[in-house]
Amino acid sequence: MNNFNSDYTYAHHQSEVGSPRIRMMIVDDHEIVRKGLAMVIGLEPDIEVCCEAGSGDEAVKSIRQLSPDLVLMDYKMPGMSGLEAARAIKSILPACKVMILTGVNADSTIFEALESGIDGYILKEAPPDELIRAIHIVASGQAYLHPVVTRKVLSNLSRSLNQNYNSPAVSNSKLNPPGVIDNKDNQSGPNFDFGIPQPAAAPVEKLTEREIEVLKEVALGQNNREIAETLVVSEETVRTHLKSAFRKLGATDRTQAVVIALKHRIISI
């Protein structure tokens, strides 16, 4: 496969079941890494590795012409960094999803990446099946964070919320007890906005103890299989509890549900 082989169109690429394939660009300054990733990802019937780039500059220059659905971008490259390239790609092609693939999990790097508007952040230590799962999640329009990254983000948010709740400005405010969401406007209480939609105006049903337990495990970066093992239940039961918790919290994905739960003191880390 040659770099930037653009003789493809979205409509022409169909999976075996007839649905459009996910057209991907892989960006890494090491050719052996690009080829290895392309080989693993290319085994998926619904993913097409349509092009590669050896630098951020190269990717940005060709992004409009190639118009991939998703870009898997190395974080650290000579010249234009992965984050700089991600910002540029988002500016040129807003509909394109960008996922960072890196070995770096330092807090400063993670938060800089999230502020850049990326759609996913996965570590190079992730096994192939986790990478494929992340690609499908991001391609579907949801955000993906590697479990290690999720723990760092949520721990940081938890500290921030606790500092704000315990500050003199809100120490005398009426706060909801843990596990309860009050949807009435509270002008005297804390008003934090982390980019998460506020719960609906109508009263929200209280989460069950089991739903709270599942969310706590999600906050620790556990996947469904690990949660099932910890709580000694089936994966299907875990999925059922998550689906119910999403509905009650007005969340659309795992990270959003945990952030809302933290925000309303339903769980803590």
- Tell me the pLDDT tens digit for each residue of 3-29: 333 323 333 334 444 567 999 999 999
> pLDDT under 50 in the chain at which residues?
1-17, 168-203
- Domain 149-263 in the same topology as domain 10-145: no
pLDDT of residue 266: 87
Q: Within 13 Å and on the Cβ side, how many CA atoms surround 166?
A: 6
Alpha helices in 70-146 (DSSP H): 82-92, 107-115, 128-139
φ/ψ (deg, to 5) at 74: -70, 140
**Architecture category of domain 149-263 in CATH:** Orthogonal Bundle (1.10)
Answer yes or no: are the C-beta atoms of 165 and 175 closer than 8 Å.
yes
pLDDT of residue 166: 55
β-partners of residue 24 are 49, 70
Reported as type and span, the H/E element at residue 25 is strand 22-27
| Model pTM score | 0.62
Give the Å distances, CA to CA, from 43 to 21, 39, 46, 135, 154. 12, 7, 9, 13, 34
Give the Å distances, CA to CA, from 221 to 10, 113, 146, 155, 252. 34, 19, 8, 11, 17
**How many whole angstroms separate alpha carbon 255 and alpha carbon 235?**
18
What is the residue type of 261? A
**Beta strand pairing status for 97-102 and 144-145?**
unpaired
DSSP 188-227: TS----SSPPPPPSS--PPPPHHHHHHHHHHHTT--HHHH
**How many whole angstroms separate alpha carbon 260 and alpha carbon 243?**
15
pLDDT of residue 263: 79
pLDDT of residue 262: 82
pLDDT of residue 47: 96
Pick the CATH number of 10-145 from 2.30.30.30, 3.40.50.150, 3.40.50.10680, 3.40.50.2300: 3.40.50.2300
β-partners of residue 98 are 71
Q: Is 84 helix (H, G, I), strand (E, B) or coil?
A: helix
Sheet of strand 120-123, all strands in order from the earlier edge strand to the far edge: 47-53, 22-27, 70-74, 97-102, 120-123, 144-145
Answer yes or no: are the C-beta atoms of 33 and 124 closer than 8 Å.
no
Domain spans of the chain, in order of start: 10-145, 149-263
